[in-house]
Amino acid sequence: MSQASAGRGKDHLYIKESRNNGSCPLAHPLFCFCLSAYFCFLMTALGVTAGAHRLWSHRSYKAKLPLRIFLAAANSMAFQNDIYEWSRDHRVHHKYSETDADPHNARRGFFFSHIGWLFVRKHRDVIEKGRKLDFTDLLDDPVVRFQRKYYKSSVVLMCFVIPTFVPWYLWGESLWNAYFLASILRYTISLNVTWLVNSAAHMYGNRPYDKYISPRQNAFVTLGAIGEGFHNYHHTFPFDYSASELGLKFNPTTWFIDFMFWLGLVTDRKQAPKEMIQARKERTGDGSA
């Protein structure tokens, strides 16, 4: 038996003994598996929310190279198009929100804005008006260029191989369970959570900042999308790195960015001034907050 196999066997023996004598409940394989699957979900979400969305689409803060590399890897784990394509479509969405030039125009219904837009050709307005926007800043980033060049390989590794291999190798989970739960189920949930921002958060909820636009504040989407459901705020102040008013709000993506700021990996966090927010509420809000 190879040294690697022997080492893996010892790990399994330790976990089995710990489980039997109750000395270390955290070493229980089921706990470890659930923890790893949840970690993969969080990493997947951050690759979209903190990465493709708030960093690259909106430039709402600046990230140093190590953090950009981590977010690019997390974005590949999300498998929702590479950073360049995701950010390009999102900028077009904000610029031409809920018109024919919006890639996932919510006025075309829940199904279309949720997933249907991915099954049809883009409206000609999306293509024509999208060409008028400048995306050179994205390709000026070597991390974005690298991920785009090796996107397919990085997706296979980050989205499927690592989430499957880690629980199988470290605590003896079956490859079947690891693949279908940590990879496929996690991927399916993360996709729909992102899509709900485009669909549900444009249809259900209140509009305390601008009642004249469709995006809403949706608590359900906020929980699933780790802070991306404050959508009326985000479309009113898209440059704000927190995508919500700061305060006692559930916004793990903002907490992550703030923690990275504390570590020195984030600079130049952009925020909407309190006076601007309050004035906008009074002028265009629906009075719900």
pLDDT at position 91 is: 98
Tell me the mean pLDDT in the region 104-118: 97
* C-alpha–C-alpha distance, residues 97 and 286, integer Å: 20
pLDDT at position 189 is: 96
* C-alpha–C-alpha distance, residues 44 and 183, integer Å: 11
Tell me the mean pLDDT in the region 119-131: 96
Q: Is the pLDDT of residue 30 over 90?
A: no
pLDDT confidence of 24, banded at 50, 70, 90?
very low
* C-alpha–C-alpha distance, residues 79 and 44, integer Å: 9
In the Cβ-directed half-sphere of 66, how many Cα atoms lie within 13 Å?
A: 6
pLDDT confidence of 10, banded at 50, 70, 90?
very low
Taking only the tens place, the pLDDT of each residue in 166-225 is: 999 988 889 998 999 999 999 999 999 999 999 999 999 999 999 999 999 999 999 999
Taking only the tens place, the pLDDT of each residue in 211-232 is: 999 999 999 999 999 999 999 9
Distances 127 to 56, 100, 121, 198, 203 between C-alpha atoms, Å: 20, 10, 10, 19, 25
Quote the DSSP letter at residue 7.
H
Q: Is the pLDDT of residue 85 over 60?
A: yes
pLDDT at position 19 is: 44
pLDDT at position 260 is: 99
Residue positions counted in the chain: 289
Burial track 268-287 (b if 16+ CB lie within 10 A, e otherwise): ebbbbeeeebeebbeeebee
* C-alpha–C-alpha distance, residues 117 and 119, integer Å: 6
Q: 93 near 123, Cβ under 8 Å?
A: no
Among 36-40, 139-143, 144-148, the least confident range: 36-40
Q: Output the DSSP codes for 52-68.
A: IIIIIIT--SEE-HHHH
pLDDT at position 88 is: 98
Percent of the residues in the chain that have a pLDDT greater than 70, as a whole number: 90
pLDDT at position 170 is: 86
Among 30-34, 74-78, 154-158, the least confident range: 30-34
CA 106 and chain centroid, separation: 20
More confident residue, 38 or 68: 68
pLDDT at position 27 is: 56
pLDDT at position 1 is: 47
